[in-house]
């Protein structure tokens, strides 16, 4: 029998808000990941299952559409479900509703099931023979690849902290969204709010690495290439954000 969509309630706490009293992007990503983990656990292919079989789920792409960000003190309802399973990639959708039942955030994501021994994707249909997606999409997307920023992009520098590392011992996906959102000037944040986010995750990043984010601005769109510097230089992720000016 197919399992229903997961519904989970969250209260936006004071420390989860930004200077404008809106939910922080990094916390929004963490809420999505938490809901996904809870749903995977109850469906039998969550953390305990993965640890037993020495594998892990890794987010590969995200698309997020924001009507508005919830405010501190608001209660929100997150609904999530696996919506598609291919040979190697599985899609998961999310819907976030406010207290009035209004749909305020939509997201689609694509995930890989990775072998921790071989560091490569596993065939989902072979590992999860009882995987039953709910064939319903919250938004239409082909998970297109984000274009590389232009050459005159501005550079922002970060360093991977211990707190940025997740249970898989590499940078948590939410941190990449944080870095992309941070890679604009303070004045931009004072006058803009994100409406649409696309992220492609490419390589793992590790504690202590120096990170450089190349950021190009085209109107209300910013494009970001997140790279590790040094001897093992590589592109870790690429993101595009469409913003709206505060009215």
Same domain, 165 and 108: no
Q: Do 69 and 175 belong to one domain? A: no
Q: Are residues 14 and 121 in the same domain?
A: yes
Say whether both 90 and 174 belong to one domain. no
pLDDT band at 138 (very low <50, low <70, confident <90, very high): very high
- Compute the distance between CA of residue 197 and CA of residue 222 in angstroms, rounded to an integer: 10
Q: Which residues contact 71 (CB under 8 A, 6 or more apart)?
A: 12, 17, 21, 22, 23
Using an 8 Å Cβ cutoff, are 229 and 218 in contact?
A: no
* Other Cβ atoms closer than 10 A to 186: 8
- Give how many domains the chain has, as a whole number: 2
Residue 110 forms part of a structural domain: yes
Distance CA 157, CA 136 (A): 40
Judge whether 15 lies within some domain.
Answer: yes
Q: Return the pLDDT at 125.
A: 85
- Domain's final residue, options 127, 145, 169: 127
Task: Identify the domain containing residue 88 by its residue range.
Answer: 6-127
- 157, exposed or middle or buried, with CB in 10 Å at 0-12, 13-18, 19+? exposed
208 and 106 part of one domain: no
pLDDT tens digits, one per residue of 80-136:
999 988 888 999 999 999 999 999 999 999 999 999 888 899 999 888 888 889 989
Does 159 lie in the same domain as 120?
no
Is residue 211 within 8 A of residue 176, CB to CB? The reply is no
- Considering the domain boundaries, does residue 137 fall inside one? no
Contacts of 5 (CB under 8 A, 6+ apart): 79, 80, 81, 134
User: Which range among 10-19, 149-158, 176-185, 200-209 shows the weakest confidence by mean pLDDT?
Assistant: 149-158
| Number of other residues whose CB lies within 10 A of the CB of residue 154 | 14
Same domain, 64 and 160: no
The residue assigned the tokens 């996906």 is 173
Residues contacting 101, CB < 8 A, separation 6+: none
174: phi then psi, degrees, rounded to nearest 5 = -60, -30
| 39 has a pLDDT exceeding 90 | yes
First to last CA, the chain: 48
Lowest-pLDDT choice from 23-37, 49-63, 125-139, 217-231: 125-139
Q: Which of 94, 166, 89 is nearest to 128 (CA)?
A: 89
Same domain, 186 and 239: yes
Q: Is 38 helix (H, G, I), strand (E, B) or coil?
A: helix
Question: DSSP string covering 191-218, please?
Answer: HEEEEEEEEEE-S---TT-EEEEEEEEE
Residues 10 and 118 placed together within one structural domain of the fold: yes
Name every residue whose Cβ is closer than 8 Å to that of residue 125 and which is 6 or more positions away in sequence: 85, 87, 131
What would the mean pLDDT of 44-65 be, rounded to a whole number? 93
One domain for residues 12 and 93: yes
Based on the domain organization, do 87 and 182 belong to the same domain? no
pLDDT value of position 2: 67
State pLDDT tens for residues 147-190: 999 877 899 999 999 999 998 888 999 999 999 999 999 999 98
């Amino acid at each position: 029998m197919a399992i229903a969509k997961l519904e989970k309630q969250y209260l936006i706490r004071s420390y989860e808000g930004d200077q404008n009293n809106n939910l922080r992007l990094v916390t929004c990503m963490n809420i999505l990941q938490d809901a996904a983990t809870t749903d995977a656990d109850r469906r039998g292919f969550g953390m305990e299952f993965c640890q037993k079989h020495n594998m892990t789920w890794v987010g590969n792409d995200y698309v997020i559409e924001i009507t508005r960000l919830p405010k501190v003190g608001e209660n929100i309802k997150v609904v999530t479900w696996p919506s598609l399973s291919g040979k190697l990639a599985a899609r998961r959708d999310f819907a976030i509703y406010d207290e009035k039942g209004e749909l305020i955030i939509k997201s689609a994501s694509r995930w890989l099931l990775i072998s921790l021994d071989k560091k490569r994707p596993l065939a989902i249909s072979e590992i999860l023979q009882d995987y039953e997606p709910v064939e319903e999409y919250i938004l239409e997307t082909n998970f297109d690849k984000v274009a590389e920023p232009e050459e005159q992009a501005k550079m922002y520098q970060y360093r991977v902290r211990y707190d940025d590392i997740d249970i898989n011992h590499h940078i948590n996906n939410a941190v990449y969204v944080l870095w992309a959102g941070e890679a604009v000037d303070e004045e931009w944040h004072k006058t803009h709010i994100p409406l649409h986010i696309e992220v492609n995750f490419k390589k793992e990043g590790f504690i202590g690495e120096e990170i450089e984010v190349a950021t190009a601005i085209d109107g209300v769109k910013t494009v970001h290439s997140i790279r590790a510097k040094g001897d093992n230089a590589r592109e870790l992720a690429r993101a595009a954000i469409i913003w709206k000016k505060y009215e």
